[in-house]
Structure 1
Amino acid sequence: MSTPCIVWRGDFSTGDLSQWAEEPQSGPGGLLVRPFPTELRHLGNRNYLLVTVTPEDKYSDGNRSELIHQPRYGTETGTEYFCRWSTLFPESTNGHTFFPVTGDWQVITQWHQSDGIGSPPIGFGVTDVKGCPYIVLDLWQETTNELRRVAEIPYQEGVWYDFVLQVKFSDCYEQGFVNLWCGNPQVYQQQKADSSGRRNTRS
């Protein structure tokens, strides 16, 4: 068994986007690294990424600001990782909502095939299709050729969400798996999953 180690860090500690391998897909000012105000500093991090999307920020098939990391040699089937990140949705002020929760396509984090085509094997988003907003985890099911919603977490503004995702990337349903924690509680566990979409994966 190999010794665990940090293989990549994208915490903006450099003060810029240099930790991320690819050019961002964003309009001017859409992705800005900012120093944390003291009252918002979280888990010892000094900087954060401010993401802004406007109606003019159109890439591919929709409005988006996207920051991409793709390992130099891809992520081969059979590899296992723990991924940790934190997300804060700003509080609404004067009736203005900073993060849209309407509809069913507000993606916040995803692990995608290296060619970027099609639905991601693993994706997180925000939706209000049930009448109130939730953070959701969707997994691509190769056996049925469709996305399956497997976890829902209540959405709240002004609160840090600390995610830990354990994933074994595999084209084989019997070998891949996904586990998710939000804070301390484990909110999802699946011991069998199509977690790579038959291709190398980027995040």
Structure 2
Amino acid sequence: MKKSCLLMSCFIAFTGFCSFSNASILWQGDFETGDMPQWNSPINPAGLSVTGECTFDGKHAGKVTLTGDDSFLWRGNKFLNRSEFHHRRAAGNTHEGRDTFFAFSFYLPKTFSEHKHELGYWESDKSWQQMLRFNITGSELSFQESAASDVLWKLPEGAAPGQWHRIALHIHWSTDPKVGSAEVWVNGKHMGKHHFKNLPTQDALMFTQIGILRTQEKTVEEILIDGAIETDNLTELLERDRHLVGKTCEI
């Protein structure tokens, strides 16, 4: 009888822990549904698909393919190619003083061209003001405040092809450049915490778009996106799936 009660207590404790752990995930974009309903309406869906040929985890990953033909011109702009997955939460989650804990993984089958590619960025609804972004140039990954001319840091092989990379991001939203901040980890490496104005207005709804935004070129380029999550704490953000960083595929 005592043994039975002990097992039951352990079971309750275990399931309670699991419920707490699951509750810390506010959103997932892992494509395990086999399609894209986890994400909001995409930006230029012509280049978006779901694939099983190479994944960060599970059976599916998102795929972005740009060919440079007219279907990838953004609203007729002959100088701009783009196709991106889009994620936003409900209004209020990015207001003044709020925090966002967000991560995603990406994989390049081949090195990008030496032109700048915007991998992912945060932008405001209605005003469409971009505040911070990640760039890829060749195999170099960099991060910057969008309003600044210089990047905050760069990693020469941060976007090296043939392996999964993971970006984790803690944003503290504020219109005050001394209060607003962005702290980044790349493949588990802490890249520092930087302060700047990252909220255009105190009640702005900020969203992220991840994929490829580049100048118009005919080069065919692909990127895979997987394992995107938004959590309610930093520990969950950094611990989840970190053992998969550097995973390789043959495609």
Normalised TM-score (structure 1): 0.78
Instruction: Give the structure with the larger strand fraction.
Output: 2
Match of 2:140 among 128, 134, 154: 134
- 1:151 maps to 153
**CA gap 1:148/1:80 in 2 versus in 1, 3 angstroms:** farther
1:125 aligned partner, one-letter code: N
**CA gap 1:10/1:147 in 2 versus in 1, 3 angstroms:** farther
> Does 1:19 find its partner at 2:30?
no
Aligned-pair Cα RMSD in Å: 2.2
> Does 1:107 find its partner at 2:118?
yes
Match of 2:90 among 67, 72, 88: 72
Structure 1 vs Structure 2: percent identity of aligned residues? 21
List per-residue Cα deviations over 1:99-120 (Å, max 9, x = no partner): 533223x1111111112634x2
List per-residue Cα deviations over 1:27-65 (Å, max 9, x = no partner): 2xx111112x4xx443x3321111101222111441111
Alignment of 1:1-203 (within 5 A): 5-27=24-46, 30-35=47-52, 37=53, 40-42=54-56, 44-55=57-68, 56=70, 57-60=72-75, 61=77, 62-73=80-91, 75-91=94-110, 100-104=112-116, 106-115=117-126, 117-118=128-129, 120-127=130-137, 133-141=139-147, 146-155=148-157, 156-190=160-194, 192-198=195-201, 199-203=204-208
Instruction: Give the structure with the larger helix fraction.
Output: 2
CA contact (8 A) 1:151 1:188 kept: no
- 1:96 maps to none
- Structure 2 segments unaligned to the other structure (5+ residues): 1-20, 209-251
- Structure 1 segments unaligned to the other structure (5+ residues): 92-98
Q: Paired residues, what number?
A: 177
Q: Distance in 2 between matches of 1:197 and 1:46?
A: 38
Query: Once the 2 structures are TM-superposed, how far is the Cα of residue 150 of structure 1 from its aligned partner?
Result: 0.5
- The structure with higher relative contact order (CA 8 Å, sep 6+) is 2
1:11 aligned partner, one-letter code: D
